[in-house]
Amino acid sequence: MSELMNAIKLICEEKNLNYEAVIEAIESALAAAYRKDYGDKNQNIKVRFNEDLSKIKVYDVKTVVEDVPLPTFNAPLTLENLQDSTVTIDPETKGLAMAHEDQLPAEIRDENGEIIKKFNPKTEIQLSEAKLIKPDIKVGDEIIIELPTHTEYGRMAAQTAKQVIIQKLREAERDMIYEDFKDKEKEVISGIVQRREGHNILVDVGKTVGIIPPQYQIPSENYRPNSRIKVFVEEVRVSNRGPEIILSRTADEILSKVFYLEIPEISNGLVDLKAVAREAGSRSKVAVAANSENVDPIGSCVGQRGSRIQTIINEVGGEKIDIIEYSDDPNKFIANALAPAKIEQVNLNYENKQAVVIVDPEQLSLAIGRDGQNVRLAARLTGWHLDIISAADKNNETSIQEVSKKEKTKKTKTAPEKKVKKQTSKTTAKKTIKKTSAPASKTKKITTKK
């Protein structure tokens, strides 16, 4: 086995890269070195190794395209012609430079002046020129011209090859990390806390370092260096520095994953984890259901003397966890979700998926919870919009409704009597006005006569 083969295998083990990716990087580096010392700027240099990596072959690879007419000037560019005529320079195409084929690629423009196609002499060859080399060639085929190989390269070519290898290996490593973690997106993984950098927490997740932004951190949790934690891969994106992995400690999936790992009945399928509602660092509610009559879902999650649930609490930063038995009946499930409060009655509106929960006045504050946390988590767990009402308020509402109904009936009965009274009062008022207005008019006439 050659020394080059041993070096390639060593790089593959250290960088955890594919063998083909390293070979491709070395071939690109040799092509850059050949172009530096022996190549032409219009050559598309490609280098290929043989099977045992003992020899290389150098090729100039071009794609056959249709013939593109090169732009020419009607008269030669002499000093006399430039003095006698006006020359305009297009700032986009730089018309003067177009006189030389090797400076800018030729192009075809339509009637509106828009570019239809450009000709790149480095990677393309025109059909007429390609047929001189291979008569039966067609547009779209590749024409490969073998170039002479060289064994000696200068210092600048060696430096260029070194830089290309480093760059290609770095790119291959970034691509592999991105592909690996893109498959793990929206999953829970383990990591080791490295350090705090500003407001972000850096976590070692194996091949690279992930970031926990402030919005995905638990405020009450202390991230000690070298401590192992479980994180949720929120997003994997590409940045200028390579793949960026955004992690989270506040996701509901972390609690679900810990339940699957710590409780054998859930991992074996004897108990199903139906729903999770979590306010990270404070409190969570978990709904479980048993697939067998002989299994207690809540007891299997709690464990003997609370050993199982205590390890889960420690894993998620010490937040309180309520384990609730799931039920297909929404009334029973909502009543269980609002525990430890005791529920008297649940009225459901299936169209709006809204539930009105009636509780004893003494249980009202317990059902709502501190800052509405209990009812908020219960609503997220069940998927219903919950309104908590005390029984006393419900009784007051019914009494008020009955009183309002009685008042409405009284108003409807007394309405025709009031109308009759109003009509009689209006007629009497008209008569009094007529009587009082007659003498006043007479006095006016008398005064005018005098």
| Residue carrying structure tokens 């070979």 | 23
Query: What angle (nearest 5°) sits at the alpha carbon of residue 296, between those of residues 291 and 301?
Result: 100
pLDDT in tens, 63-86: 888 887 655 444 454 544 444 444
Q: Which residues contact 185 (CB under 8 A, 6 or more apart)?
A: 233, 235, 236
| Average pLDDT over every residue of 326-348 | 91
Confidence at residue 22, expressed as pLDDT on a 0 to 100 scale: 86
Whether 193 contacts 226, CB under 8 Å: yes
- In order of start, what are the domains of the chain with their CATH numbers? 3-75+94-174 (3.30.1480.10), 184-250 (2.40.50.140), 327-422 (3.30.300.20)
Residue percentage of the chain with pLDDT more than 70: 75
Confidence at residue 18, expressed as pLDDT on a 0 to 100 scale: 83
pLDDT confidence tier of residue 232, bands split at 50, 70 and 90: very high
pLDDT for 334 beyond 70 = yes
Task: Compute φ and ψ for 280, nearest 5 degrees.
Answer: -55, 135
pLDDT for 305 beyond 70 = yes
Residue 85: both structure tokens together: 């005529």
What SS3 class is residue 112? coil
Confidence at residue 203, expressed as pLDDT on a 0 to 100 scale: 94
CA 287, CA 302: separation in Å to the nearest integer? 13
pLDDT for 392 beyond 80 = no
Confidence at residue 90, expressed as pLDDT on a 0 to 100 scale: 47
pLDDT in tens, 403-435: 455 555 555 554 454 444 445 454 444 444 444
Confidence at residue 119, expressed as pLDDT on a 0 to 100 scale: 77
Amino acid (one-letter) located at 349: N
| Residue carrying structure tokens 């529920």 | 343
| Residue carrying structure tokens 């006698």 | 84
Average pLDDT over the chain, rounded to whole?
A: 78
pLDDT confidence tier of residue 272, bands split at 50, 70 and 90: very high
What's the sign of the alpha-carbon dihedral 77, 79, 80, 85? positive
Question: Around Cβ 333, how many Cβ atoms within 10 Å?
Answer: 24
pLDDT confidence tier of residue 248, bands split at 50, 70 and 90: very high
What string of DSSP letters covers 126-181?
Answer: EHHHHHHH-TT--TT-EEEEEE---S---HHHHHHHHHHHHHHHHHHHHHHHHHHH
Q: Give the burial string for 174-202 (b: 16+ CB within 10 Å, else e).
A: eebbbeebeeeeeebbebebeeeeeebbb
**pTM tops 0.85:** no
pLDDT for 49 beyond 50 = yes
Whether 172 contacts 186, CB under 8 Å: no
Confidence at residue 319, expressed as pLDDT on a 0 to 100 scale: 87
| Average pLDDT over every residue of 13-20 | 82
pLDDT confidence tier of residue 200, bands split at 50, 70 and 90: very high
Confidence at residue 89, expressed as pLDDT on a 0 to 100 scale: 43
Edge-to-edge strand ranges of the sheet holding 283-290: 271-279, 283-290, 320-325
Question: 254: buried, middle or exposed (CB in 10 Å: 19+, 13-18, 0-12)?
Answer: buried
